[in-house]
Structure 1
């Protein structure tokens, strides 16, 4: 499998943070986005950022900034579609998406997603972690997993199908992935590798997780 392109999803409204760009909040004296780029860039061929509004606020990062092509902020699938269209124009076969507010995701994200996709005509895999619930067996079945739909491997070949689904009103990621036989890739390390910063309290926790005081 060819090395995928990478898309960082930062196109949301950040309502629980009071608006603004969560990816530009600081962690260890640098924007969260810098930490995300550092983890993703070594794993992919090229990186782009999905964000809406003025692109110049991200100029310092030197990335292509791709807005949603579907109006009214339809969610992460619109960012995935933007990444797929960008990658298709450059001859790529697949895209890996990550969230722009999740600074601790696995450094082996891409190879684990790719291994889970082996044998698929159209690689389509979401990251997942075991459900932390004493009443649910820690199994590799869907009932025992928590899927992380902003972290996935997506096939360029299905971008027009995704566009049609979004234009038809689809918003839930897993409804589309299940329609196409999507799989899950299990990440079962210590802690929560997909911890994301949604609220001011989350930012405080992220700084504590990183051993930082700001």
Structure 2
């Protein structure tokens, strides 16, 4: 017995992968932005500046996660953002990765652009159902009708003086999931550009 399953017509692999992602408009950096990139910055400050600019540019952008507000982030990536943009856009959450990731995915489906920060990406495993089965698959499963413009971010991989639960790199796992873009910046310039592109992108 031969069973054929068709999704949107012919199930060619290249077509299927295209249907996993929403198309996104590209914008070239301005001369002022290019000059700012020439400034020497730590990765932390580069991400902070990029978040600040995107929050100022687009009222649908907001940040949520553990300690991102009052404590300025576990690694101070969100320093000063709550004071500038307010508690409604820089949202402290309980230590419930599955819960706040689900809130963020729902907000993205409703037209917002959440930046969901995990204190360490190892604990994003607590939210893997929301990331893989909700955010990544939404565009494909809705036939392109629903987008999920969300950013999941946080430190990933080995670091000095942290426990085994904080030292793993799951980027290859997530990169194997159709519908997810996975970025691993090497430099401050990478980090700044990638976070801005990720926020403006229509995909998780």
Pair in the same fold by TM > 0.5 = no
The structure with more radius of gyration: 2
Higher helix share: 2
Higher strand share: 1
Q: TM-score when scaled to structure 1?
A: 0.28
